[in-house]
Chain A
Amino acid sequence: MTKRFALGIFDDEDVLLHAIENIRAAGVKIHDVFSPYPVHGIDDALGIERSRLPIAAFFFGLTGLSFALWMQIYMLGFDWPMIIGGKPHIALPAFIPVSFEMTVLFCAHGMVITFFTISKLYPRWKVPVMDVRATDDKFVMAIELKDDASELSRLTQLLRENGASEVNEKEMTQK
């Protein structure tokens, strides 16, 4: 499915933030904004809901913790019990470092994989890019074009008024 976008190119992050406010206030729905680095306050300005990634992280962590404890208790307590340093077979203080590491490991990997998947950043042959300059020094605001031809000129004017240095049209093939 092919979609058409109007791309407003901005040079400055403050101009961009004010433009987002004004354009949203004018009733235009912004598809997304691409920036070379994280811009403070942009999530609120775009009205993006808070990510639920922390909830996923908690459960990844819990999985790692449970797995580590089960592994150590099963291995050292039941499968092959050994006396180490005169301690009981199931010696919890000795299990804490490994449990901590496994919690962090599961948490970190789980979060990265989840984040890449939901952001569609997984590896593929053809990577859709709105404007490559968004990885260098420009801020790119994408607004989806839906209906008539006059929409583009209307948006061009709106973006220009709000400080866009140029406005382009782009077709994107999306799954």
Chain B
Amino acid sequence: MATLTHQDGVTAEHLQLSPSTRKKFITIIAAGVILLIIGVVLAALGIGEEHSAATGHEVGTGAGASAEHHEGSPVWLKRVLVSLWHSNVYFIGIAVIGTFFVALQYVAYAGWSVLIKRINEALSAWLMPGAIIMLIVFFVGRHDLFHWTHDGIMTLGHENYDAIVAGKSGFLNLPFYVIRMVTYLGIWWFFSERLRKLSLEEDINGGTEYFHKSINVGALFLVLFAVSSSMAAWDWVMSIDVHWFSTMFGWYVFASWWVSGIAAVTLAAIYLKQAGYLRFLNANHLHDLGKLMFGFSIFWTYIWFSQFMLIWYANFPEEAVYFNQRLGGFNGHYTWIFYFNLIINFAFPFLVMMTRDAKRQMIMLKIVCIAILIGHWFDFYLMIMPATMKAESGFVIEIGIALIFLGSFLLLFTKRLSQASLVPVHHPFLDESVHHTT
């Protein structure tokens, strides 16, 4: 009857980072660097990756020899830049979802999630480095990423002139784009730090004043995030396929980030619990996280299908080209990822997490969390690669860079996690979370 008897002694818990944990993260980074170097060498020599004749490229060894689509960069460099963008969009999404989760729980007056609040706060440690990487990659690699940044594409009479892209020049121009990017990242970073600061001050001073302030800050953030997450999705991901557009796209990217973020929080909570922390976290909290993961996997599928079916049914060439490229295009380069995406992000979590018991067992949750995190990395791969790399994307460089990001993300995440008590000891709803039953 743990739920009925009153439990005293909810005390602060501090995460002690052992050197071996840090060594593990550095090993992940090192493995990524090695993979990246192998990948770059292989790509520069033009071996190990398939090049399909259908795309009209020569099997390019000479840098920039096949110049018709590559503006500037040789294939290996282009792959590095595109992968940096791909993994950065994925990880920055997970980072901001941490803040989104906290804000949402405040506005909903939710009590159950107080015990895992610090994990969400710690996720946003990646926001600042992610923002810097994003700006650098944009300035260095924008020609490899975004067709609309090409010289003369919006100048009437120029050989690169494209009337459709020129028609979007009011929105997709360099200054406005950079201002928007800095604004989104600035808003996300500011509100993350603000909520974090209020939470840490509450730990010291107590009282309900910080709680009410956090609700106001959270509510304002939610409104701004609703707009900025959607627009970030258009800017960072949809404008890669510059001729194409989808009104579902903002939601689609958000759904992908959101479910990955919940999976990341759940995984972190389980690892902390298994390492002996979060004494009061029990199967009830995991059950609720499992429900969210289950539900939002279905939500992602719903958005995915809503986008797919309308385009498939209407079959307008300018819309259907998006799925043509991914389903059978480039000699079927992306076809398996298209189906794999649906299996790992929908069928697998749906069938595995359906029963109550599965949502309450750490091992099942762990498997599903890892599957969702890998699956949504592939989801972003499928969004970003076809328009940028055509048939030249591979996996050695891409996974190498993802591992470097993962290791760095975990270093910063655990560092911030260890900087404050894992339990927000003075949160007014802490008691409710400790006695939570589902």
B3→A44 contact, CB < 8 A: yes
Check if A93 is an interface residue, CB within 8 A of chain B.
Answer: yes
Residues of B whose CB lies within 8 Å of any CB of A are 1, 3-4, 305, 308-309, 312-313, 315, 354-356, 437
Mind listing 5 A-B residue pairs with CB under 8 Å? A41-B4, A44-B1, A54-B355, A85-B313, A93-B313
Interface core residue of B1, B355, B437 (most chain A CB under 10 Å)? B1
Q: How far is the CB of A175 from chain B (nearest CB, A)?
A: 32
| Residues 4 to 32 of chain A near chain B (Cβ within 8 Å) | 17-18, 21
Provide the bound-state CA to CA distance between A86 and B354, in Å.
37
Q: How far is the CB of A115 from chain B (nearest CB, A)?
A: 17
Q: B305 contacts which chain A residues (CB < 8 A)?
A: 93, 96
Q: B437 contacts which chain A residues (CB < 8 A)?
A: 40-41, 44
Q: A40 contacts which chain B residues (CB < 8 A)?
A: 3, 437
Provide the bound-state CA to CA distance between A45 and B354, in Å.
25
B313→A45 contact, CB < 8 A: no
A58→B309 contact, CB < 8 A: no
B309→A45 contact, CB < 8 A: no
Interface residues in A, total, Cβ within 8 A: 17
Check if A149 is an interface residue, CB within 8 A of chain B.
Answer: no
B313→A94 contact, CB < 8 A: yes
Chain A interface SS verdict (over half): helix
Q: How far is the CB of A21 from chain B (nearest CB, A)?
A: 6
| Residues 66 to 114 of chain A near chain B (Cβ within 8 Å) | 85-87, 93-94, 96-97
Q: A21 contacts which chain B residues (CB < 8 A)?
A: 1, 4
B1→A45 contact, CB < 8 A: yes
Provide the bound-state CA to CA distance between A97 and B309, in Å.
10
Q: How far is the CB of A61 from chain B (nearest CB, A)?
A: 10
Q: Which of A41, A50, A54, A93 sits near B309, CB closer than 8 Å? A: A93
Q: How far is the CB of B12 from chain A (nearest CB, A)?
A: 28
Chain B residue with Cβ nearest A20: B4
Q: Which of B308, B313, B315, B356 sits near A54, CB closer than 8 Å? A: B356
Q: Which of B1, B308, B315, B354 sits near A85, CB closer than 8 Å? A: B315
Chain B residue with Cβ nearest A21: B1
Q: B356 contacts which chain A residues (CB < 8 A)?
A: 50, 54
Q: How far is the CB of A45 from chain B (nearest CB, A)?
A: 7
Q: How far is the CB of B311 from chain A (nearest CB, A)?
A: 10
Q: A87 contacts which chain B residues (CB < 8 A)?
A: 313
Q: B354 contacts which chain A residues (CB < 8 A)?
A: 58
Q: Which of B1, B3, B4, B312 sits near A93, CB closer than 8 Å? A: B312
Chain A residue with Cβ nearest B306: A97
B309→A94 contact, CB < 8 A: yes
Q: How far is the CB of A102 from chain B (nearest CB, A)?
A: 16
Q: How far is the CB of B185 from chain A (nearest CB, A)?
A: 37
Q: How far is the CB of B429 from chain A (nearest CB, A)?
A: 15
Q: B1 contacts which chain A residues (CB < 8 A)?
A: 21, 44-45
Q: Knowing that A21-B4, A44-B1, A86-B315 are A-B contacts, what are 9 other residue pairs whose CB atoms are under 8 Å apart, sorted by A's residue number?
A: A18-B4, A40-B3, A54-B356, A58-B354, A85-B315, A93-B305, A94-B309, A96-B305, A96-B309
Q: A58 contacts which chain B residues (CB < 8 A)?
A: 354
Provide the bound-state CA to CA distance between A45 and B2, in Å.
11
Provide the bound-state CA to CA distance between A81 and B91, in Å.
48
Q: Which of A45, A86, A94 sits near B4, CB closer than 8 Å? A: A45
Q: A50 contacts which chain B residues (CB < 8 A)?
A: 356
Q: Mark A31-58, 1 if CB is under 8 A from B, else 0.
A: 0000000001100110000100010001
> What 7 A-B pairs come out closest when comparing CB atoms?
A41-B3, A41-B437, A40-B437, A93-B309, A93-B312, A17-B4, A21-B1
| Residues 133 to 166 of chain A near chain B (Cβ within 8 Å) | none
Provide the bound-state CA to CA distance between A58 and B351, in Å.
11
Interface core residue of B4, B309, B313, B315 (most chain A CB under 10 Å)? B4
Q: How far is the CB of B307 from chain A (nearest CB, A)?
A: 12
Provide the bound-state CA to CA distance between A131 and B404, in Å.
66
Q: A93 contacts which chain B residues (CB < 8 A)?
A: 305, 308-309, 312-313
Q: A86 contacts which chain B residues (CB < 8 A)?
A: 315
Q: B4 contacts which chain A residues (CB < 8 A)?
A: 17-18, 21, 41, 45
